[in-house]
Structure 1
Amino acid sequence: MTPDRAPGQARSPYEIANAVGEEIRILNHRTADGSCAYPDPTSVHDVITALHAILFHLPQALGQAAAGLAAIPPDRIRVALPDGERDTAAARQARVTEELARAAETLELARAHVASASAFTSGLDRLLAVEEEDPLDGLVSVYQD
């Protein structure tokens, strides 16, 4: 059961988005020294795949935020502007929708690149330590004599 569907008070969209951002911040700190955070290629692949999932869902979240803003009647929005600037709430709503659509397009491109990286890392595995002397060498030499 996901935390938002658990019994009790549901989190707001802001609380959910803020929690995702905080988790990414923690990930960045935890992996700052990549040598300790990623002991093998599989661990890198797993993180890349999880980040891909985030990028997959972000364009929808941005579109829904834009739709949420567009659904608010412009007469219920007050635009705080610097001195001398002229704008309307409807114009601002349209600009936000346009910018979020551009962001979603950029995220789609990023997602495609991360998907490629995930595909490439899926073919990597950690190297096993190879002993200097193979124990079978002794057996081979016995039969060769």
Structure 2
Amino acid sequence: MDRDRSPFDIAGAASEQIRALNHSTLDGQGYDHPARVTETIGTLSALASRLQLSISQLDTGYAELLDSGRHYLYDPEGETVTEHSTQVHDQFRTAHQAAEHLHEALSAVQNLTALLGYRESK
């Protein structure tokens, strides 16, 4: 684990790795066997599972920052910090649920692709 980098830097590096994956698999290239698809999907499923914890920890960190009482809204439009924070928390919850659904869907795909065999051409 790399605890010397900021959460922002770590998230940025993870994002760039997904970008690299996207480039290496353009037009379906990069997979020479169904097992490689299954392995990749399994790893992405683990990523989605870990995103759930990251999102929960972001929500907790945000709440702890608000507890300091030193925050204000740049453009309140009649809204209080508490009201705005409730919206933020609700969106964190929505993101957490989306990550959970993504994890479940990717796990299902992994289970299905694991059943595929591959014949070498004669």
Superposed pair shares fold, TM > 0.5? yes
- How far does residue 98 in structure 1 lie from its aligned partner after superposition? 1.0
- How far does residue 78 in structure 1 lie from its aligned partner after superposition? 2.4
User: 7, 30, 50: which is aligned to 2:24?
Assistant: 30
Higher relative contact order (CA 8 A, sep 6+): 2
Q: Quick one: distance in 2 between partners of 1:81 and 1:37? A: 47
TM-score, normalized by length of structure 1?
0.76
Query: Could you tell me whether the CA contact under 8 Å between 1:74 and 1:90 is conserved in 2?
Result: no
1:92 aligns with 2:119: no
Query: Runs of 5+ in structure 1 lacking a partner?
Result: 131-145
Query: Runs of 5+ in structure 2 lacking a partner?
Result: none
- How far does residue 74 in structure 1 lie from its aligned partner after superposition? 5.8
Point out 4+ residue stretches in structure 1 off by more than 6 angstroms: none
User: 76, 79, 90: which is aligned to 2:73?
Assistant: 79
* 1:27-85 deviation digits (Å, cap 9, x = unpaired): 11111121x31111111111101100000111111111011010112631121117xx1
TM-score, normalized by length of structure 2?
0.90
1:106 aligns with 2:98: yes
Q: Quick one: distance in 1 between partners of 2:39 and 2:62? A: 35
Q: Quick one: distance in 1 between partners of 2:91 and 2:9? A: 22
